[in-house]
Amino acid sequence: AKITFQDNNGKEQTIEISNGLSIMEGAVRAMVPGIDADCGGACSCATCMVYVPDDWRDRLPAKDANEEAMLQFCPHADERSRLSCQINVSDDLDGLRLSLPESQH
Ligand code: FES
């Protein structure tokens, strides 16, 4: 699926991520700046946080309790936030646009 990342300065990058990878894995492989993923996808660092626009929020798989809990610790998280390591890519996500926080720490 093609997924677009917009950084805090409005700069966009669209990458192709294979089905089955997490959004975080795809972004790290493509070296998208702004996805740190310190824990490597274990849902324990919250440095892979992304902001999901309104029109996409209901189209993504729901957060589980772990993700919900980690987001509580994330200083930049708000109601738009998701952890990109917890979302697996499928064809349904084609065209998804995500914004990145100013910093992950
Ligand atoms: Fe650590 Fe997503 S990579 S929580």
Domain ranges of the chain: 2-99
Q: Which of 28, 35, 45 to mutate to test the pocket of ligand 1 (most atoms within 8 A of CB)?
A: 45
ipTM summary value: 0.99
Q: Which amino acid is located at 33 in the chain? A: P
State in Å: Cα 95 to ligand 1 middle. Answer: 22
- The fold of the 2-99 domain, in CATH, is Ubiquitin-like (UB roll) (3.10.20)
State in Å: Cα 72 to ligand 1 middle. Answer: 13
Atom of ligand 1 nearest to the CA of 42: 1
Percent of the chain past pLDDT 90, that is, above it, reads 96
Give pLDDT tens digits for 49-84: 999 999 999 999 999 999 999 999 888 999 999 999
Q: Which residues contact 71 (CB under 8 A, 6 or more apart)?
A: 46, 49, 63, 77, 81, 82, 83
Partners of 51 in beta bridges? 81, 99
**Average pLDDT of the residues of the chain:** 96
The predicted pLDDT at position 105 comes to 84
E strands in 10-105: 12-16, 49-51, 81-83, 96-99
